[in-house]
Amino acid sequence: MRIVKYEDLDVWKLSLKMTKMLYDLTAKREFSRDFALRDQLRRSIISVSSNIVEGFEKNNNNEFVRYLRIAKGSVGEARNQLYIALTVNYITQEEFDGVNASLLKLANQIGRFISYLVNKRKTGHFPKTR
């Protein structure tokens, strides 16, 4: 499959779904006074899709892999903040479990994509972008 634009990337599509999910979660009353945690959680999930796009737009597979690794790190950051929200009782265990599972899925998908690109780089067969 030829990837022409970042909107074709499944990892980008999933990152947007996660952004919506976390924005909805942090719109809860419990987050209304904790601007620091709410905003940091939102910034970390925004960073995921932003880094996927920035890396893709570099038109360089080495740079793309670097930015995908940053995006994966931002997923980990969001997961940690989700644990904090659970610890301070801003979210229920059920809410945590659902969102955390989705974040793990996103991290795994990004990780598999990184592995694919790195493997293609080693063999000299890069995926076609643009």
Residue 70 to residue 75: CA distance in whole angstroms: 9
Separation between Cα atoms, residue 51 and residue 71, nearest integer Å: 5
According to the model, what pLDDT value does residue 130 have? 45
Give mean pLDDT, residues 2-29: 95
DSSP per-residue codes, 49-108: HHHHHHHHHTT-HHHHHHHHHHHHHHHHHHHHHHHHHHHTTSS-HHHHHHHHHHHHHHHH
Each residue's pLDDT tens digit, 55-100: 999 999 999 999 999 999 999 999 999 999 999 999 999 999 999 9
Task: Give me the chain's average pLDDT, please.
Answer: 93
Q: What is the mean pLDDT of residues 109-117?
A: 96
- Taking residues 106-127, report their average pLDDT: 83
CA 119/CA 58 separation, integer angstroms: 19
pLDDT at 24 over 50: yes
Task: Identify the band that residue 124 occupies on the pLDDT scale cut at 50, 70 and 90.
Answer: low
Domain definitions of the chain by residue range: 6-123
Residue 38 pLDDT exceeds 80: yes
Q: Tell me the C-alpha distance between 41 and 77, whole Å.
A: 8
Read off the pTM: 0.90
Q: pLDDT-based confidence at 121, cuts 50/70/90? A: confident
* Confidence label for 19 from pLDDT (cuts 50, 70 and 90): very high
**Mean pLDDT along residues 90-113:** 98
Q: Which CATH number fits domain 6-123: 1.20.1440.60, 3.30.70.270, 2.30.40.10, 1.10.3720.10?
A: 1.20.1440.60
Structure-block tokens of residue 79: 């997961």
Smallest CA-to-CA distance from 48 within 129, 111, 3 is with 111
